[in-house]
Amino acid sequence: MIYGFHISISGGLSKVTERAVRRGCGTIQIFSRNPRGWRYTALDPVEVETFKAQMRESAITPVVVHMPYLPNPASPDDELHRKSIDSLIEELRRADLLDSPFVVVHVGKHMGSTIDEALRRVASAVNAALAEVRNDVLLLLEGTAGQGSEVGCEFSQIRDVIAQVDEPHRVGVCLDTAHMFEAGYDVSTREGLDKTLAEFDDLVGLDKLHLLHLNDSATPLGSHKDRHWHIGKGEIGLEGFRIIVNHPKLKGLPGIMETPPGEEEDITNMQVIRSL
């Protein structure tokens, strides 16, 4: 498994590599712009080329781009749905410019609509974005904890989205260890992880799994509360992560940690995960 962190782009893309190297990253995830707003500026070509050269020199790969927080492709609101599609389109283009093979998007929130309608809206947003952008970037649907009106906390729901995608070969999945645990999948034991991966393989297919988010959970199994915590310090625990990172079906995958931020904490989390 290749380990890394979500790295801040504060100060520009040229600052990212130094932060990643200090943390011992073999892979990274970034936002390509402010994640808390809709407005954005075009990527600076000089910054982009500097960033890509630094990534090549450091041998950090892959670079993963994460969607901002505001888009909701499951939304029943037509304006928000349209803005979410536009955001997907933009991130697919920006990822291509950054030599990133993946864009991660949360499946979304139903906001009062039915689950089936929400999943249909997600698929329609994915279809619209992929039809507009013709490149090799894979769009990865990230499973959720099922907090509030979130959809995508069950593997069957991810399956149902992909079944409605016109170009399913351009879509994959990102699984978050905390989200799975909080959604009711017990990944803290070998028996539970085996059962979870078997169910995912049966419903979606392990060939669709391209990325892991490695986060411990501050809340109990099945809590449906999305609270990331430091590796081995939460409800999944140290032995749970030992099982996860050594599981043969997860071998070779990039594993991105999104634990509570702080350089010292990140370095400690990296030391812990590698020790397992």
Distances (CA, A) of 175 to 5, 188, 253: 15, 14, 11
Catalytic residue among 6, 93, 228, 230: 228
Catalytic residue among 91, 160, 226, 266: 226
Catalytic site includes residue 36: yes
Contact 246, 196 (CB under 8 A): no
DSSP class per residue in 1-15: -EEEEE---TT-GGG
Catalytic residue among 6, 19, 33, 66: 66
Contact 122, 111 (CB under 8 A): no
Catalytic residue among 23, 106, 121, 170: 106
Catalytic residue among 142, 182, 235, 266: 142
Task: Report the DSSP beta bridge partners of residue 174.
Answer: 142, 211
The token pair that represents 128 in the structure block: 């619209």
Ramachandran angles phi, psi of 167, nearest 5° = -125, 75
Catalytic site includes residue 39: no
The token pair that represents 112 in the structure block: 């009062």
Catalytic site includes residue 179: yes
- Distance from the first to the final alpha carbon of the chain: 11
Catalytic site includes residue 69: yes
Contact 182, 226 (CB under 8 A): yes
Catalytic residue among 23, 93, 210, 213: 213
Catalytic residue among 170, 179, 210, 230: 179
Q: Tokens 């712009």 sit at which residue?
A: 33
Contact 110, 76 (CB under 8 A): yes
Catalytic residue among 86, 99, 201, 258: 258
Catalytic site includes residue 213: yes
Task: Report the DSSP beta bridge partners of residue 141.
Answer: 105, 173
Catalytic site includes residue 106: yes
Catalytic residue among 90, 91, 176, 235: 176
Catalytic residue among 36, 39, 134, 169: 36
Catalytic residue among 49, 69, 166, 202: 69
Q: 155-163 and 190-203 helices cross at what angle (nearest 10)?
A: 20
**Which residues have CB under 8 Å from 220's CB, separation 6+?**
235
Task: Please list the active-site residues.
Answer: 36, 66, 69, 106, 142, 176, 179, 213, 226, 228, 258
